[in-house]
Structure formats: C-alpha cells, structure tokens
Structure 1
Amino acid sequence: MKVIIVGAGGHAAELVDYIHHSNKIDSLREQIEILGLIDDSSENHLKYDFSYPLLGQISSHQIDKNFFYLMGIANLKYRKKFVEEFIARGANFISYIHPSASVSSTASIGKGVVVAPNVNLGPNSFIGDYSLVNSRVSLGHDTKIGKFNFLSPNVCFSGFTEVGDENLFGINSATIPGIRIGSRNKIMAGMTLEKNVGDDEVVFYRYKERISIIRG
C-alpha cells in the first residue's frame, strides 16, 4: 500500500514511527510504503529529519488517485479542512491501527481514523471518521464517538459514553459511565466528566487545591 502523509509536523513524525514499527513486527500485515509527505512549511520537514521526501505543499498538491492518503495533522481545524478539501478532489484516506492496540471483535472504526499504540477499544465501541485516538486511550464497552475527535494520551471513557463531533479531550481526561458529550467542546487535561456536556463548551477546573503534608 503506497501512502502519502498529509502534514510533516509532530503527529506526522509519530505516524512514520508507528508505520516503521508495524512493517517490522507484522509481516502478515499489508506493508505500508511511505512515498513522502506534504506540508506548507518546509521547516516542519527539516525539524523532524524525515527519511522521506517533502513532495510539495498541501495547498498546491495535485491528488493522485493511484495512492492513498493518511492524515498527519493533529490540529482539528486544519485536519477537517484538508480532509474535506482532499476528499472533494478525489483523495482516498486510509485508517491506521497500531498492532499493539487491543481492539474488540465487535468494535467499529470509521474511515481515516488513527489508533495509536496501546489503545483499548472495548466491545461494541465505535470511532467515527477521521478521529485521532492517541496512545493508551481506553474506550469502554458501548462507547460511541463521532467524527473528527481528538483524544489525547491516557483519555479514558467509561462504558456507554456518547460523544459528538470535533471535540478535543486533554490528556488524562475521563468520563463516568453513561455520559453524553455534544460537539465542538474542549475538555481540558485531567477533567473527569460527571455530568453531560452540550455543544461549544470549555470544561476545566475553576479552582485547584494543593495539599502539602508535613511530617514532624
């Protein structure tokens, strides 16, 4: 499978590492051949010292229907923008699932999804198109998330959690069972959601308490 990665920043660098690992340890899996990367900033390509060429800018890229595309931009705003633009011009995006991920046989994964190392996807869980599921994320049974969601490392959704589209979940954020979350929300790092969340909200701790224990 010949693939062009859209983006040449940090997330693209992670994808390259994931693919190298997959190709090395799983000979029975279809091998992914990275043709190169595209990015409007050549500085990104230089920063991460890719062993693959920069094939040009995203904005001027001519879609090649003979190859597949993998979204390597984490920022939700640009991720969605470029996916929609590329699809309109005939691009075919693939999903990527790291071999270390534990995926239930009854889990469902949409198109263009990235599932990073050590992810757990429970029974009847569902991940919508073009969502990014970072390392060590855990989705409990019957959890459903929509399109274009960004799940930071260590996010944990308890069973029967329902999530809309275009949400950002900070590192170590979590839900109790049965929580419903709308769309376009920002859930800050470390938040445990105990109540439902609507649309276009920012959820964070207003007060933080620090406790020091002094032993005599």
Structure 2
Amino acid sequence: MFYLIGAGGHAKVILEILEDQMELIGGLVDTNNTITQLLDYPVTKGLEDIYRIEEDKVIVSIGANHIRKIITDRSKNKYRYGRLVHSKAIVSSRSSIGVGTVIMPGVVINTGVSIGEHCIINTSTSIDHDCYVGDFAHLSPNSTLAGNVQVGEGAHIGIGASIIPGIKIGKWATIGAGAVIIRDVPDFAVVIGVPGKVIRYNNTYGE
C-alpha cells in the first residue's frame, strides 16, 4: 500500500500513476487542514495516523525540490519509500531509478541512465544514454537530455529545455523553460535563453 506526503496538484498525477499500476492507496497527508480529500482519497494531517506496516511505501508528492529534501532528511529511516513508473513510460532495463522517484507518462529513458532518489521525471521527458540525474532533481515536461549529461542534486530543468551531449548541470541550478544549454552550468545558477546564459544565482536548495 502507498501513502503520499503532499496533497496538491503534483499528488493528483501520482495518484493516477498508482491507479495505472493498480497499487493500493492508503491515503495522503498534508499540513493544510482545509484539504480533507484529493480525487477519491482521504487526506489527514499526520502520516503516523495511517502508516502502520513496514511493507507500506511512501512517496513525497510535492513538486518543490527543496521541500522534498527537507522532508526526507527529517524522516531518514522512518519510512520505506517506493518508486513509480507509469506504464506508458519507456525505461531501459539497463538504467537505474532511485527510491522516491516518479516517472510520468511519455518519458523515454535510454540505456546506462542513472536517476537518483526522490526525483521527478515529468511528462514526455527524454533522457538519452549514460546520463546521470542527481537526487531531488526535477526534469519538467518535454525537457530533453542528450547523451552523457550530468544533472546535479536538486536541479530543476524547465519545460522544453534542451541540453546537448556531455554537459554538466550544477546542483540546485535552475534551467529556464525552452533554454538550450551548450555549456556547463555552475552550482545554484539560474540560466535562461538560447543559448543559455546565467542571469543570477539561487540561494541554498535552489530557492
């Protein structure tokens, strides 16, 4: 059985992946007391109220990368995290996917790819051979990684962004929507445009 931490829009998509995989859904938790139900599932305030069995699995269903990290850092060894792959994703058997990571429909992940823990690989993302995606990263819909790209911890790749082969994206960097990345991106950098240019730097955790 799966439980979700977070009951916003991102959680709706994860609930439908669970339904697609015919997984049992125990419920969700959220600190917003006004949310009592999402789709057809109950929302409570504390996971401890409903998470009972060691075999049960948890997904942090929150889109903000830094919040997923904060929650999982605070709950180390407390929960058993699952991973989810939609049936309409194409994932090479020679790739690896960390716990807590969610792969949305239309995604293509080719051979030799390594994806870390608690990542979001969003709708119709394309990840080519031998790429590495660090923990807590988010690859937005229709983003494209060519071969041998490295994406650092907590980085956010915007909608429709394209990254040429061999590029390194630093940790907690932000790549703007539609950007074309042809040079390595430093840690915490915010990059926009074609070709991508650094316009400023994020604070800790990409905020």
Are the counterparts in 2 of residues 65 and 91 from structure 1 also a CA contact under 8 Å? Answer: no
Are the counterparts in 2 of residues 139 and 157 from structure 1 also a CA contact under 8 Å? Answer: yes
Structure 1's 85 and 65: CA in aligned 2 closer, same or farther, altered over 3 A? farther
3-state DSSP class of the match of 1:41? Answer: coil
* Count of paired positions: 194
- Structure-to-structure mapping, 1:40-189, within 5 angstroms: 40-46=31-37, 49-57=38-46, 64-66=52-54, 67-88=56-77, 90-189=78-177
CA distance in 2, matches of 1:192, 1:57: 42
Greater radius of gyration (CA): 1
* Runs of 4+ with deviation above 4 angstroms: 60-63
Structure 1's 167 and 45: CA in aligned 2 closer, same or farther, altered over 3 A? farther
Aligned to 1:210: none
**Identity in percent:** 29
Which amino acid letter does the alignment assign opposite residue 96 of structure 1? Answer: L
**Is 1:14 matched up with 2:13?**
yes
Bigger strand share: 2
**Is 1:39 matched up with 2:27?**
no
3-state DSSP class of the match of 2:76? Answer: helix
CA distance in 2, matches of 1:74, 1:117: 16
- Tell me the TM-score normalised to structure 1 length: 0.84
**Is 1:191 matched up with 2:196?**
no
Q: Give the superposition deviation at 1:6.
A: 0.7
CA distance in 2, matches of 1:206, 1:115: 27
Q: Give the superposition deviation at 1:21.
A: 2.3
Which amino acid letter does the alignment assign opposite residue 19 of structure 1? Answer: L
CA distance in 1, matches of 2:162, 2:35: 32
Q: Give the superposition deviation at 1:155.
A: 0.8
Which amino acid letter does the alignment assign opposite residue 76 of structure 2? Answer: I
CA distance in 1, matches of 2:21, 2:52: 25
CA distance in 1, matches of 2:185, 2:106: 27
- Tell me the TM-score normalised to structure 2 length: 0.87
Aligned to 1:28: none
Q: Give the superposition deviation at 1:10.
A: 0.4
Which amino acid letter does the alignment assign opposite residue 180 of structure 1? Answer: K
Pairwise CA RMSD: 1.9
Structure 1's 45 and 117: CA in aligned 2 closer, same or farther, altered over 3 A? farther
Unaligned segments of structure 2, at least 5 residues: 196-207
3-state DSSP class of the match of 2:74? Answer: helix
Which amino acid letter does the alignment assign opposite residue 80 of structure 2? Answer: N
Structure 1's 206 and 174: CA in aligned 2 closer, same or farther, altered over 3 A? closer
Which amino acid letter does the alignment assign opposite residue 21 of structure 1? Answer: D
Q: Give the superposition deviation at 1:165.
A: 0.5
CA distance in 1, matches of 2:36, 2:142: 28
Q: Give the superposition deviation at 1:43.
A: 3.5
Q: Give the superposition deviation at 1:57.
A: 3.8
Unaligned segments of structure 1, at least 5 residues: 24-31, 208-216
Are the counterparts in 2 of residues 41 and 57 from structure 1 also a CA contact under 8 Å? Answer: no
1:97-139 deviation per Cα after TM superposition (whole angstroms, max 9, x unaligned): 1111111121111111100101000110110111110010010
